[in-house]
Amino acid sequence: MTQSTFLKNGLNALLTPEESVLVLIDHQLQFANLHSHEPMMIVNNVIGLAKAAKVFNVPTILTTVVEDRGGKLIQGLQDVFPDQKPIDRTWINTWEDARVVDAVKKTGRKKVVMAALWTEICLAMPAIQAAGDGYEIYAVTDASGGVSVEAHEMGVRRMMMAGVVPMNWLAVASEWQRDWARQESAAALGDAVLPHTGATGTSFAWELQLLGQKAGIGA
């Protein structure tokens, strides 16, 4: 097993669409025991993240765990990728399922963006293992949730100790965009992603207006 030695500062430490792959883990119909965040916030954020990935053509891998008992993927997330069948597994740790690892390897990308339920288990376990396998792991903490605030926070701390970088979903989308002069993706973000950004979306819409782009907020 190799340890990741990727740069944690400088321009190359930022995300680009061309280097990224997104893994969304177990956002199933089991939100009742999510107590670190308001559940609908996590639903909103993970769908916004998925839509951003689609805008930038970032390969996205969907997973579930024991779907017949844990529930299907939430419909709003499945709707972003209607033709994709989530990888259903029995492993608690996604990274121990060879199909998931192979899917990431096939992309040829080393910057792996992850979000999951639950933070302290379904996110922390694969993030820590994948970081040890030499991948650059970015954990999207506001598209993930735990059974308590403490559980979520301890999961994030443990991942950071393993070299995982915590981010929020809108920061991920912003790094993928990087330059507002990229008007095609800016317009697509306005149409698809802005409705998920809450109050932040008003500032985003203003930036797009200044660029002469359709804001799309509230669509």
Q: Are 158 and 128 in contact (CB under 8 A)?
A: yes
To the query of whether residue 76 is one of the catalytic residues in this protein, the response is no
Which candidate, 67, 52, 63, 83, places its Cα nearest to that of 204?
A: 52
What's the DSSP call for residue 193? T
Please name the residues in contact with 48: beta carbons below 8 A apart, sequence gap of 6 or more: 143, 169, 170, 173, 193, 196, 197
Q: From the candidates 15, 122, 151, 215, which is the catalytic residue?
A: 122
Distance of alpha carbon 62 from its chain centroid, rounded?
A: 10
Take residue 103 and report the two structure tokens written for it: 């899917």
Alpha-carbon torsion (112, 56, 73, 193), positive or negative? positive
Give the separation between CA 36 and CA 155, rounded to whole angstroms: 11
Distance of alpha carbon 151 from its chain centroid, rounded?
A: 19
Q: Are 13 and 175 in contact (CB under 8 A)?
A: no
**Residues in a beta bridge with 111:** 20, 136
Kindly list the catalytic residues.
122
